[in-house]
């Protein structure tokens, strides 16, 4: 059963429960640099989350330093991302891109670097992102008695349950995640499903609070240009990385039950490399077998500025992942005023209000996905109402200003709880 957990308090209409003053905040994100979010094409949700959270905390008057691994030899030691936010490139391992599942051997070096730097200029608190960042930050924070909060972004237990032998995570992941949960001062979970999973892992419930991921409602908006449409009466759009767990095969199979509808799949490798991508080849084969190859279009990776127009061009955005730790795409679609049909998993259980802003369906069920989509496609008024409700939901819950205020409230709770926060010498 999902634990009864509430978001950290932010007061009425996102007001401040108390004034923490100006905090020096260390965000540790070992593999996901906020600088990558500026390019937009290959950045994942964690890159965007860290970049936007850092900026929103700076907007609230705090000084933020983001520590991320140096993955190129020509990167400067420090980069000012914007006023109040500095990115610090940590030399840990080779200065070259590495798959994140290969970074664990360098986390000791990463943590020692943090500990050395904090001898002379320690932050007021540390907020680590992803499990390997948590391990590095835990050791450095303990060395200086600093408060530590942690956001997992994804959990190894969930990944192993769904991917089994395809899971490439190192065997140390789940024990490491438990160590972080027991050793940090507070866990900032992103949804109720994650909080429930953490309690099953043995993390005390009182250490867990929920602050969702956010979206920029000024960038993702119903107003603005829409991408050109094809010759079909209706358009579905799926956006995200092209990996099997995202469920594009389910969307392709559902399309066979939706005549007069095209499916645009956004993401994956650059357009000129789509033919060589094994997942694209697999999905094209499924489309041929289902008789819908002429109605499925793969765009490949697109510039970040093209994403809102693509979302606006859709009648419905589909998010049929097998599992989804949080899922930013439903928020982006809702912010653009587009209804969402998503699998009832992970963070999508929190973000998509069924039937207000869209529909939730069982994962891996093309018939259920097609049925929910068909009802919306047949009713333009319902689509318009869902889109408007989605926009209102984003504005009331998921703007980065509100997310930063709730995160700040979590920081204040931990700082007020000292000296418990400095119990590890």
Structure confidence at residue 164 (pLDDT):
85
Residues 279, 284, 289, 290, CA torsion sign: positive
**Inter-residue contact 235 to 264 (CB < 8 Å):** yes
Q: Which among 8, 1, 5 is positioned nearest to 405, based on CA atoms?
A: 8
Query: In the structure encoding, which two tokens stand for residue 183, read together?
Result: 């050793």
Q: How far apart are CA 139 and CA 200, in angstroms?
A: 25
Report the chain's mean pLDDT, rounded to a whole number: 92
What are the chain's domains? 12-214+399-422 (3.40.50.2000), 234-397 (3.40.50.2000)
**Inter-residue contact 310 to 265 (CB < 8 Å):** no
Whether the per-residue pLDDT at 99 is higher than 50: the answer is yes
Structure confidence at residue 14 (pLDDT):
38
Across 228-232, 244-248, 415-419, least confident range: 415-419
Structure confidence at residue 32 (pLDDT):
87
**Could you check whether the bond before residue 419 is cis, i.e. omega within 30 degrees of 0?**
yes
Q: 317: which strand partners?
A: 237, 340
Query: What mean pLDDT do residues 327-353 have?
Result: 97
Q: How far apart are CA 174 and CA 187, in angstroms?
A: 16
Burial class (CB in 10 A: 0-12, 13-18, 19+), 262: buried
Q: 239: which strand partners?
A: 266
**Inter-residue contact 390 to 340 (CB < 8 Å):** yes
Query: What pTM does this model have?
Result: 0.90
Reported as a single tens digit per residue, the pLDDT across 7-56 is 544 333 334 445 678 999 999 999 988 887 543 333 567 888 999 999 99
Diameter of the chain measured on Cα atoms? 66
Query: In the structure encoding, which two tokens stand for residue 194, read together?
Result: 């994650």
Instruction: Calculate what percentage of the chain has a pLDDT beyond 70.
Output: 92
């Amino acid at each position: 059963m999902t634990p009864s957990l509430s978001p950290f308090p932010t007061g009425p209409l996102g007001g401040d429960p108390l004034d923490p003053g100006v905090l020096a905040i260390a965000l540790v994100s070992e593999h996901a640099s906020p600088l990558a979010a500026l390019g937009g094409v290959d950045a994942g949700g964690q890159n965007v989350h860290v970049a936007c959270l850092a900026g929103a905390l700076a907007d609230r008057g705090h000084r933020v330093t983001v520590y991320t691994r140096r993955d190129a030899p020509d990167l400067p030691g420090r980069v000012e991302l914007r006023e109040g936010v500095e990115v610090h490139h940590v030399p840990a391992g080779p200065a070259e891109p590495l798959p994140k599942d290969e970074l664990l051997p360098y986390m000791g070096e990463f943590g020692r670097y943090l500990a050395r730097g904090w001898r002379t200029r320690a932050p007021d608190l540390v907020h680590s992102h992803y499990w390997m960042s948590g391990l590095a930050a835990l050791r450095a924070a303990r060395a200086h008695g600093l408060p530590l909060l942690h956001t997992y972004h994804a959990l190894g237990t969930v990944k192993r349950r769904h991917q089994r032998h395809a899971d490439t995570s190192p065997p140390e992941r789940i024990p490491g995640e438990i160590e972080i949960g027991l050793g940090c001062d507070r866990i900032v979970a992103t949804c109720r499903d994650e909080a429930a999973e953490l309690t099953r892992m043995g993390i005390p419930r009182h250490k867990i609070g929920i602050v969702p991921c956010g979206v920029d409602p000024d960038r993702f908006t119903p107003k603005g240009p829409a991408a050109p449409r094809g010759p079909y009466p209706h358009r579905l759009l799926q956006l995200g990385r092209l990996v099997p767990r995202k469920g594009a095969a389910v969307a392709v199979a559902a399309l066979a039950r939706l005549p007069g509808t095209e499916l645009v799949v956004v993401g994956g490798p650059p357009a000129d490399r789509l033919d060589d991508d094994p997942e694209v080849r697999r999905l094209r084969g499924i489309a041929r077998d289902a008789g819908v190859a002429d109605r499925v279009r793969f765009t490949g990776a697109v510039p970040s500025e093209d994403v809102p127009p693509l979302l606006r061009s859709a009648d419905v955005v589909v998010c049929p992942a097998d599992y989804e730790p949080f899922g930013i795409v439903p928020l982006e679609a809702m912010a653009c005023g587009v209804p969402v049909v998503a699998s009832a998993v992970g963070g999508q259980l929190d973000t998509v209000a069924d039937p207000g802003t869209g529909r939730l369906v069982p994962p891996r069920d093309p018939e259920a996905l097609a049925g929910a989509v068909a009802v919306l496609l047949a009713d333009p008024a319902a689509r318009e109402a869902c889109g408007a409700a989605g926009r209102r939901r984003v504005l009331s819950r998921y703007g980065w200003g509100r997310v930063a205020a709730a995160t700040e409230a979590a920081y204040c709770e931990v700082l007020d709880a000292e000296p418990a926060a400095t119990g590890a010498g």
